[in-house]
């Protein structure tokens, strides 16, 4: 894929975009062994770019599994709240192995939801995973209060009417435990609408007090993974 030289330099070195432009102007950059001062020059995978005599390698695609903490939002930036991208920037060993630009979370978890979130720079994979046509499974663990309807499992399997807005696709509900006024549920969805788990549970009498995503496609959240921790994974671990 062709990229502008100044963008390539800032994405694959410690320089910001404006520092990359200064380095270009100062003749510190060579493209295929010749000094190149033009930031707009297109570079492809077959080109060799050197900065101060060191070859810059394209960082390629990265996939970061984050055990998202509550209180952090699933966005690239925000003026008020900490974002999942702030967590990446605050983890030097992760940041060093990533391109600086172009990372984003695949889909969203609510601010108060914990658990599995993948952060990547792979727009194609993200598009495929989020496409409603692909029916990628997402599994959640929900701790709820309220009195779960007796026919909740069947209603989830048939597709629940959520308010008067839409009928959810058939989903799998497993009751892990239930006693007076409390239940722990596992829910597998193949779509990802706004507050979907919370709203579907509400329809069957359960109010979600704690929600955690434990699987996305094939990728499971390791049980021993501390909240807030990140690990690199491969695309084939997810799909």
Residues with active-site annotation: 110
CA distance 238 to 8: 27
The count of residues interacting with ligand URA (CB under 6 A) is 8
138-146 and 206-216: which strand pairing? antiparallel
Among 109, 118, 141, 221, binds ligand URA (CB under 6 A): 109
Interacting stretch for ligand URA, rule CB under 6 A, among 18-26, 30-38, 105-113, 170-178?
A: 105-113
Among 10, 13, 67, 113, binds ligand URA (CB under 6 A): 113
Side-chain half-sphere CA neighbours of 58 within 13 A: 17
Of residues 17 and 202, the one with the C-beta less far from ligand URA? 202
CB-CB contact of 213 with 142 (8 Å): no
Of residues 36 and 189, the one with the C-beta less far from ligand URA? 189
3-state secondary structure of 105: strand
Among 196, 212, 214, 219, binds ligand URA (CB under 6 A): 196
CA angle 130, 134, 138 (to 5 degrees): 60
Is residue 211 at the binding interface for ligand URA, with CB under 6 A as the rule? yes
Among 195, 203, 215, 235, binds ligand URA (CB under 6 A): 195
Interacting stretch for ligand URA, rule CB under 6 A, among 75-83, 106-114, 121-129, 229-237?
A: 106-114
Is residue 197 at the binding interface for ligand URA, with CB under 6 A as the rule? yes
Among 19, 110, 203, 220, binds ligand URA (CB under 6 A): 110
Site residues for ligand URA per CB under 6 A:
109-110, 113, 195-198, 211
């Amino acid at each position: 894929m062709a990229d502008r030289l100044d963008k390539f330099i800032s994405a694959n070195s410690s320089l910001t975009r404006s520092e990359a432009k200064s380095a270009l102007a100062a003749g510190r950059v060579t493209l295929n062994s010749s000094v190149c001062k033009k930031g707009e020059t297109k570079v492809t995978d077959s080109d060799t770019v050197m900065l101060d005599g060191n070859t810059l390698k394209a960082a390629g695609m990265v996939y970061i599994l984050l055990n998202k903490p509550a209180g952090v939002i699933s966005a690239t930036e925000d003026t008020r709240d900490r974002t999942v991208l702030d967590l990446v920037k605050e983890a030097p060993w992760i940041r060093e192995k990533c391109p600086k630009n172009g990372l984003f979370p695949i889909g969203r978890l609510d601010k108060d939801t914990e658990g599995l979130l993948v952060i990547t720079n792979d727009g194609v994979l993200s598009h495929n995973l989020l496409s409603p046509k692909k029916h990628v499974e997402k599994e959640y663990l929900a701790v709820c209060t309220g009195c779960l309807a007796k026919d909740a499992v069947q209603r989830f399997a048939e597709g629940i009417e959520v308010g008067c807005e839409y009928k959810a696709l058939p989903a799998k509900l497993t009751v892990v435990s239930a006693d007076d006024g409390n239940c722990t549920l596992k829910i597998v969805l193949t779509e990802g609408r706004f507050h979907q788990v919370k709203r579907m549970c509400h329809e069957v009498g359960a109010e979600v007090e704690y929600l955690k995503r434990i699987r996305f496609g094939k990728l499971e959240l390791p049980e021993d993974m501390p909240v807030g921790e990140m690990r690199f994974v491969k695309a084939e671990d997810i799909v």
